[in-house]
């Protein structure tokens, strides 16, 4: 379900960015110098937005692929509830494993899951990005 919603939102965003880009082209064709500058800016923003969306979708697919390949015994059990002592213990164990072997993407994947369990989304994302970098080298 989440993949379908993401796909639909990406299509809607692509259409919107396409309309915005063509509006910028129309402004550039107007011929007036300030309007041309505005048109160029209007064309750059959809390009930047599209690049960011593509990057995020690639990150999501790569993370999903990594989740399918990770050893099941390394992930937390379904009994661990978010923001509990068990979640903190899992995070601590994952961090220790990552310290012992810093080049193993699975360790960093587990660190990201642990940070997510304790509610620290920023560090979870950074850890997952590092795990993706290591996975790409693997």
Which pLDDT value is given to residue 138?
Answer: 75
Q: Which residues form the domain of 126?
A: 72-137
- Helix spans in 1-32 (H): 2-29
Distances (CA, A) of 128 to 12, 16, 44, 64, 121: 27, 30, 29, 11, 10
Question: Which residue, of 49, 65, 81, is where some domain finishes?
Answer: 65
The predicted structure's pLDDT at residue 107: 95
Same domain, residue pair 43 and 83: no
Output the domain CATH number for residue 76.
1.25.40
Q: Are residues 57 and 83 in the same domain?
A: no
Q: How many domains does the chain have?
A: 2
Residues 59-85: pLDDT tens digits?
999 999 999 999 888 888 888 889 999
C-alpha to C-alpha distance for 119 and 81, rounded to whole angstroms:
11
The one-character DSSP state at 84 is S
- Do 115 and 82 lie in a common domain? yes
The residue to which tokens 């993401």 are assigned? 6
Q: Residue 6 in contact with residue 57, Cβ under 8 Å?
A: yes
Token reading at 83: 């923001």
Any idea how long the chain is? 138
Q: What is d(CA 25, CA 96) in angstroms, rounded to the nearest whole number?
A: 54
* Maximum average pLDDT range among 3-7, 20-24, 27-31: 20-24
Query: Is 135 in contact with 66 (CB distance < 8 Å)?
Result: yes
**Whole-prediction pTM:** 0.79
31 pLDDT more than 90: no
């Amino acid at each position: 379900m989440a993949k379908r919603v993401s796909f639909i939102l990406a299509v809607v965003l692509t259409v919107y960015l396409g309309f915005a880009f063509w509006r910028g082209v129309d402004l550039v064709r107007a011929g007036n110098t300030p309007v041309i500058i505005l048109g160029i800016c209007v064309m750059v923003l959809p390009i930047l937005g599209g690049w960011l969306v593509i990057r995020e979708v690639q990150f999501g697919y790569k993370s999903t692929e990594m989740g399918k390949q990770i050893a099941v015994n390394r992930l937390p059990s379904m009994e661990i509830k978010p923001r509990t002592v068990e979640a903190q213990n899992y995070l601590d164990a994952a961090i220790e494993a990552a310290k012992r072997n810093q080049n193993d993407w699975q360790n960093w994947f587990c660190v990201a899951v642990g940070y997510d369990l304790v509610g620290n989304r920023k560090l979870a994302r950074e850890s997952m990005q590092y795990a993706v970098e290591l996975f790409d080298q693997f």
